[in-house]
Amino acid sequence: MGTSEQWLAWLGMATVISPVALLLLLGTSMLAGLRASELWVGQLTRAAVLIGLLATLGVLVLMLVTGVRYVPVGLGDWVHLGGTGHEFSFHLKFNFDRLSVPFTILVFVLCGTISEFAQRYLHREAGFRRFYLLYALFLAGMVVSSLAGTIETLFLGWEFVGLSSAMLIAYFHERRGPVQNGLRVWAVYRLADAAFLVAALAMHHLHGHGDFGHFTGVGPWPDGRADLGAGPAMLVGLLLLVAAAGKSALVPFSGWLPRAMEGPTPSSAVFYGALSVHLGAYLLLRVNPVLQESWIVRLLVVAVGLATAISAAISARVQSDVKSALAYASLTQVGLIVVEIGLGLNYLALIHIIGHASLRTLQLLRAPTALRDWQQIENAIGPESPVRDGRLGEAAPGWAAIAVYRFGLERGFFDTLLDRFLVAPLMGLFRESDRLERIWTDWLDRRPSRESDLAELHPEGEGE
Amino acid sequence: MGELHGAWLELAIAVPLLGAWCVQLARDVRTARSLAGAFAGVTLVLAGAEWIDFQSLHVFEAHDDSRWLGWAGLNDVLVVDKLTAPLLPLVALVHFLTVVSTPLNKAQRFSFGWTLVAEALVLATFSCRASWCLVGLLLAGLVGPWVELRRRGASTRVYSFHMGSFAVALVTGWGLWLHGPASWKPAALICLAFAALIRSGTVPLHCWVSDLFEKATFGTAILTVAPLTGALVAMRLVLPFSPQWVLQGVAVMSIVAAVYAAGMALVQTEARRFFCYLFLSHSSLVLAGLEVARPLGLCGALSVWISVTISLTGFGIVLRCVESRIGRISLAGFHGLYGQMPTLAGFFLLTGLASIGFPGTVGFIAMELLVEGVVEVWPWIGVGVVVTAALNGIAILKVWFRIFAARKRDELIPLGVRWPEKFAITLLTVLILAGGIWPQPGLRSRYRAALELLEHRRTESGMVLQPISPPPSALRVFPNHPP
């Protein structure tokens, strides 16, 4: 192994290990009940982000200098079972290429910025340490997902991102709204995770392992070609599209994104405005060679992206708070990014992600002072003239304008549709089963069989 | 067969029996709890010694040192093998931690004597080969919960109906298998499979489990289900002898049960019932994996068995701790207890997530293996496993929010975790995280056990059993599926 290869391997490992070490340190101290000072937490986070960022930049420089386009870094087999014709291995492999390196740099830059912002924004907040623990979980998840060389590794990071996101939305857990929204996001993520896992299993069966290099064929990103038939590619592609739709709030799962803004501003900015919301798009970029094998999947990707962009653009225009408006503005761009991916414009999509994520982070961080900014602008240039409808709005018939307004105000009816046609029937079915079970046990007992019916809602007292 | 260097099995069974007798002599509840904890601790040490000793022998199965009760013929009955060697200390650990973490207000109703007797019975059951002795021990294990229900003045009809059916199916099945004509063997296997399904609480034969959680003490309910005795029935009495169609039937029923129980966990309005369905869902997954009878699936099921026992015992202990402070936990509203018990909130989340195989916990790779193994044989059933994990994940976070969030409370009474509770949960947390970060040794041990169990299934059953081949539909979905 040459010197540059050795350096690449070391730097690659440092990129992955630094956020994982941060997570372990903060997690262990929390579990042990230690109350680390804000200063210590901040310094530790800063060090981990800086090490990770510098290491990734080092990888980038070395790749540019040596002209290498693809650097696999293996940490070995986490688990390996086999020797009898039934093999199973969980290989911890990370790929540094033209897709993962820019995205990882973006992750470190934005997370670093947010960490510095949050140290002041959340100063002396009761949940300061909890925020940073979840932040570390998110950072580790994002870095692992971005660099994952196997689908199992990607799934590992994907799960970290999901949990941290849901818990951060419910950060202000003493209020009911954030908690309910956090649970809703978690439910959508679990659905996306299930689709992802089934896709991973299908890939395993098609190739015997989950290494991206094998099912995206020969050639570094984005030139790889998958050696799948159209049928299997369609099956896997559709499952991955569902997974990406859940993670990136694409239609019909768009409803979770504005709900995610219940969290503290730093988390809204970096997670739902910048990084988390792009993770689904990133997944589609990563598996683009699979998508390219099936025109049906490509068509669906474009359709879903377009539907998301249009519906989000409409909803953004009727939001009454700045964070929700920004959330839908984000979603509009994510929809367009997905359209670009469907059309095979991979580099454009990547650049779009990076530019959009940076802009949106800045906007969301300025959101708490939006009124003050507005006043400053008005003081400088005078009050703005009242907003008027555009030409299209003026030309449209009244009923159409009302329908579009209603569509926007109801956020595309997506949550309503999911609730009515998916959640309600499912919950109804299980509640009915519960009722039947009660009838059965009551009949066997010849009296009411459930002591739990007597459980008081708040035997401990009202508290509040 | 190898021979252990001590009489670990016999001692591990005798010590809790002796402890049960001593506990009866205790004058007050505190002394009884201390005595029970001490005897359960010694049992844990003995069971641990058995495991270490067995590992050093490098054999498939071993019995106690024959200088001990060999004259009584126990050496042929009490045998530890690669399947049960790690399960014995696990069972002892579950009992030890449950006893140690019992708060005083729960100790008034929780019978330490019966718990130690139950521990001895479970350890004996797990150390027993397929025999009438095993059948007898399985039946004896039903008595403790029944007595507790009677003592509490609760109706035993649901429990008696299901466990009576279990007993009839078990005795009939084993009797027919051993003594019936060849033409009755399929009926015998169906009876035994039926018994395994009832004991595992597989839908629609599961109501006894929810009834037990309703009426018995939480500790007894946890200890009755946590060792997954139903899975042991399947391993000992069904898997070695059954042809493909029986295994397939059990696996399909188990997966349906797993999805059903996961859905039911979502709609429960009381914490014990929620825990019950969460457990049923996981035990059904284990049963489904066991019936795959392929190395990866079996290894996954054996690993999930251990991970589920560890994580859900921890989860149950946390719920029991919360219940001991605020009474039966209604899930119809929010309690907002995070501020009062942040440590318990953290452990609740960790153990709950570990049970669904969250990355970094002991169940992650185990669940992956289980899914992989099941999909290898029946792809659509594998999808059922994934759906189950998704629903369980939603249910766990939902209940976490219900208990610990969405309300602001200012308590004057301290509700924080006590040190014995913290010790119990911390120990389980260490196991959960250590097994998650460094899973290879545990999985390798389970993989070898799976291979040897399958080898024994081929050689000792006396039946020519073909490995289960994937159905044609699987080949259509995955055209490159290895034959």
User: For tokens 């009551």, what's the residue?
Assistant: A442
The pLDDT, as a whole number, for residue B74 is 66
Checking if the pLDDT of A132 tops 90, the result is yes
Looking at A13-22, B67-76, B421-430, which range is the least confident one?
B67-76
Nearest to B405 among A170, A194, A205 (CB): A170
A452 contact residues in B (CB cutoff 8 A): 214, 269-270, 272-273, 328
Token pair in block for residue B425: 């949960």
Residues B456, A142: Cα–Cα separation, whole Å = 45
The pLDDT, as a whole number, for residue B476 is 38
Nearest to B214 among A33, A176, A449 (CB): A449
The answer to whether A350 and A99 are in contact (CB under 8 A) is: yes
pLDDT digit string (tens) for A296-336? 999 999 999 999 999 999 999 888 888 888 889 999 999 99
Determine the distance in angstroms separating the CA of B119 from the nearest CA of chain A, rounded to an integer.
27
pLDDT digit string (tens) for B236-275? 898 888 888 888 889 999 999 999 999 999 999 999 999 9
Q: How far apart are the first and last CA of chain B?
A: 35
The pLDDT, as a whole number, for residue B73 is 65
- pLDDT > 70 in chain A, percent: 92
The pLDDT, as a whole number, for residue B173 is 95
| Highest mean pLDDT: which range of A126-130, B158-162, B360-364, B378-382 | B158-162
The pLDDT, as a whole number, for residue A70 is 87
**Using a CB cutoff of 8 Å and minimum separation of 24, what contacts does A155-158 make?**
A155/A193, A155/A196, A155/A197, A155/A200, A155/B359, A156/B359, A156/B364, A158/A193, A158/A196, A158/A247, A158/A279
The pLDDT, as a whole number, for residue A385 is 62
Nearest to A451 among B215, B358, B364 (CB): B215
Residues 6+ apart with CB under 8 A from A153: A91, A92, A93, A94, A144
Checking if the pLDDT of B463 tops 50, the result is no
The pLDDT, as a whole number, for residue B373 is 83
The pLDDT, as a whole number, for residue A375 is 83
Residues A422, A403: Cα–Cα separation, whole Å = 24
A231 contact residues in B (CB cutoff 8 A): 479
The pLDDT, as a whole number, for residue B477 is 36
Residues B385, B262: Cα–Cα separation, whole Å = 10
The answer to whether A147 and A158 are in contact (CB under 8 A) is: no
The pLDDT confidence band at residue A460, using thresholds 50, 70 and 90, is low
Token pair in block for residue A336: 């367009």
* C-beta neighbour count of A430 within 10 angstroms: 21
Scanning every residue of chain B, which has its alpha carbon at the shortest distance from the alpha carbon of A434?
Answer: B264
Nearest to B158 among A176, A194, A449 (CB): A449
A163 contact residues in B (CB cutoff 8 A): 353, 358
| pLDDT mean over B293-303 | 88
The pLDDT confidence band at residue A163, using thresholds 50, 70 and 90, is very high
The pLDDT, as a whole number, for residue B465 is 40
The pLDDT, as a whole number, for residue A124 is 87
The answer to whether A325 and A316 are in contact (CB under 8 A) is: yes
The pLDDT, as a whole number, for residue B381 is 81
Answer whether the bond into residue A102 is a cis peptide, omega within 30°.
no
Determine the distance in angstroms separating the CA of B396 from the nearest CA of chain A, rounded to an integer.
10
Nearest CA to A118 out of A103, A104, A138 is that of A138
pLDDT digit string (tens) for B270-293? 999 999 999 999 999 999 988 887
Checking if the pLDDT of B376 tops 80, the result is no
The pLDDT, as a whole number, for residue A221 is 75
Residues B326, B328: Cα–Cα separation, whole Å = 7
Nearest to B401 among A78, A183, A201 (CB): A183
Determine the distance in angstroms separating the CA of A83 from the nearest CA of chain B, rounded to an integer.
11
Q: Radius of gyration over alpha carbons of chain A, in Å?
A: 24
Residues B152, B332: Cα–Cα separation, whole Å = 26
The answer to whether B37 and B99 are in contact (CB under 8 A) is: yes
The answer to whether B200 and B234 are in contact (CB under 8 A) is: yes
pLDDT digit string (tens) for A60-88? 999 999 988 888 888 888 888 876 667 78
The pLDDT, as a whole number, for residue B470 is 42
- B405 and A152 within 8 Å at the Cβ level: the answer is no
The answer to whether A139 and A148 are in contact (CB under 8 A) is: no
The pLDDT confidence band at residue B70, using thresholds 50, 70 and 90, is low
| pLDDT mean over A258-273 | 80
- B325 and A460 within 8 Å at the Cβ level: the answer is yes
Checking if the pLDDT of A463 tops 60, the result is no
| pLDDT mean over B163-187 | 93
The pLDDT confidence band at residue A464, using thresholds 50, 70 and 90, is very low
Residue type, position A21, single letter: A
pTM for the model: 0.91
The answer to whether B395 and B276 are in contact (CB under 8 A) is: no
The answer to whether A97 and A8 are in contact (CB under 8 A) is: no
Looking at A219-228, B139-148, B387-396, which range is the least confident one?
A219-228
Residues 6+ apart with CB under 8 A from B367: B300, B304, B307, B356, B357, B385, B389
- A170 and B295 within 8 Å at the Cβ level: the answer is no
Q: Give the residue ranges of DSSP H helices in B378-470.
A: 379-404, 419-437, 440-460
Greater model confidence, B222 or B131: B222
Nearest CA to A190 out of B94, B241, B386 is that of B386
Greater model confidence, B413 or B17: B17
Greater model confidence, B475 or A360: A360
The answer to whether B304 and B371 are in contact (CB under 8 A) is: no
| pLDDT mean over A121-125 | 88
The answer to whether B461 and B244 are in contact (CB under 8 A) is: no
The helix/strand/coil state of B155 is coil
Nearest CA to A263 out of A122, A137, A124 is that of A122
Residues B331, B338: Cα–Cα separation, whole Å = 15
Checking if the pLDDT of A276 tops 70, the result is yes
| Length of chain B measured in residues | 483
A440 contact residues in B (CB cutoff 8 A): 207
Whole-number average pLDDT of chain A = 87
Exposure string of B69-97, with b = 16+ CB inside 10 Å and e = fewer, is: bbeeebbebbbbbbbbbbbbbbbbbbbbb
The pLDDT, as a whole number, for residue B68 is 65
Token pair in block for residue A262: 């219940």
Q: Which of residues 367-426 of B touch A (CB under 8 A)?
A: 368-369, 371-372, 375-376, 379, 382-383, 386-387, 389-391, 393-394, 397-398, 401, 404-411
Greater model confidence, B100 or A260: B100
Measured over the CA atoms of residue B249, residue B253, residue B254 and residue B255, the dihedral's sign is: positive
- B353 and A163 within 8 Å at the Cβ level: the answer is yes
Query: B24 in contact with A at a CB cutoff of 8 Å?
Result: no
The pLDDT, as a whole number, for residue B460 is 58
Checking if the pLDDT of B464 tops 80, the result is no
* C-beta neighbour count of A391 within 10 angstroms: 8
Parallel, antiparallel, or unpaired: how do β-strands B61-63 and B79-81 relate? antiparallel
Checking if the pLDDT of B468 tops 60, the result is no
Q: How far apart are the first and last CA of chain A?
A: 65
Nearest to B371 among A30, A201, A429 (CB): A201
Q: Which of residues 438-457 of B touch A (CB under 8 A)?
A: 439-440, 443-444, 447, 451
Residues 6+ apart with CB under 8 A from B137: B121, B124, B125, B128
- B439 and A79 within 8 Å at the Cβ level: the answer is yes
The helix/strand/coil state of A93 is strand
Token pair in block for residue B163: 């466990």
Q: What is the ipTM of this complex?
A: 0.90
Q: Dihedral angle at the C-alpha atoms of B222, B226, B230, B232, nearest 10 degrees?
A: -150
Whole-number average pLDDT of chain B = 87
